Amino acid sequence: MTLTQQEKQALVDLANAARQRAYAPYSHYPVGSSLRTKSGRVFTGVNVENAAYPQTMCAERIAIFKAVSEGETEFEVITVVTENGGSPCGGCRQVMAEFGLDTIVLLADGKGNIVQETTVRDLLPGAFTPEKLVR
């Protein structure tokens, strides 16, 4: 799958706009994400922090869980926007791997600049995937 620069930028812009709605009173590190499914639907997410830190949820997982809750499980591209172009945490990488190692991952900064384009496979080498479960 090939994305045009315009498609990439539109997804980054959606994630950056979503980032403005993040709930990050503890880290002060708002994150926005957008996810495009293979059917063309787009879902956004933001990080939602909690005073009980383990209950915090990352933007990427929120976008993925929203998509799954709407019946979408095949993804093309996910974007993650932070002020400095930060990369997804390990937990988010594992959740992304559940739905496809070839999903494109775009990392962008708060100005909307794409700082890295990669895949889930490259972000999480040796990922534990559903195929590895003994049935």
Structure tokens at 89: 């945490």
Q: Considering the entire predicted model, what is its pTM?
A: 0.95
Decide if 60 is catalytic.
yes
Residue 85's pLDDT is: 97
CATH number reported for the structural domain that contains residue 71 in this entry: 3.40.140.10
Residue 1's pLDDT is: 72
Which residue intervals of 26-125 are DSSP H helices?
Answer: 59-69, 90-98, 120-123
Q: Which of 60, 70, 72, 131 is catalytic?
A: 60
Q: What is the pLDDT along the chain (135 residues), one digit of tens a residue?
A: 789 999 999 999 999 999 999 999 999 999 999 999 999 999 999 999 999 999 999 999 999 999 999 999 999 999 999 999 999 999 999 999 999 999 999 999 999 999 999 999 999 999 999 888 976
Residue type, 102: D
Among 126, 128, 119, 31, which residue's Cα sits nearest to residue 77?
A: 119
Residue-number span of the structural domain to which 97 is assigned: 5-132
Q: How many domains does the chain have?
A: 1
Element (H, E) at 15: helix 5-19
Helices (H) and strands (E) in the chain, counts: 4, 5
Residue 110's pLDDT is: 97
Instruction: Give the Cα separation of 125 and 35 in Å (integer).
Output: 21
